[in-house]
Amino acid sequence: MKESVLRLGFLGVFLLTVQPAIASSPVIVGEISGVEVCAQQVGCDAAVFTGTCDCRVNNRRTLGFFWVAVQHDSLPASFDSAAIFAGKWNLTTLRGSFSGRVLEGNIFNNGDDTFTITVRLRVRRGGSGDILVSGVLSHDDFPPTFDGDLIQP
């Protein structure tokens, strides 16, 4: 419960501080789960993640796979934030393939080897508009894991 409230709080702050976002067309929502396959600080020039999506595209359930490469400031100290400022992403589902740019986001260090992540994705192929991602990156295990939600603005 505490984690859900924390997520919603950071998503609210994120939504208030970013430029206006428009919902994606088609509407894409769902749950994503993945692993970090390369960390930005080890020479990849981006933090690279891959995983699966239990999604809905225009309210039709579908499974899919994603990858995302994000560029961000250095990981923050406990209870501090860092900016996500660029990147690319791709989502391939049974209902279509979508890709685009990472526009902006935030990494908040929860002080327990986890980070609350909020990020805005711009759809450039397969549709248009924005998708918001909110979730938790855990450094408790190796490789680091990410679990989150795709949300419409």
pLDDT tens by residue, 102-129: 999 999 999 999 999 999 999 999 999 9
Confidence label for 26 from pLDDT (cuts 50, 70 and 90): very high
**Per-residue pLDDT reduced to its tens digit, 72-86:** 999 999 999 999 999
Domain 2-151: CATH class, spelled out:
mainly beta
Indicate the pairing of strand 47-57 with strand 60-72: antiparallel
Distance CA 149, CA 81 (A): 20
Please name which of 62, 67, 64 lies closest in space to residue 53, comparing C-alpha atoms: 64
How much is the pLDDT for 74? 94
Measure the CA–CA gap between 36 and 108, rounded to whole angstroms: 17
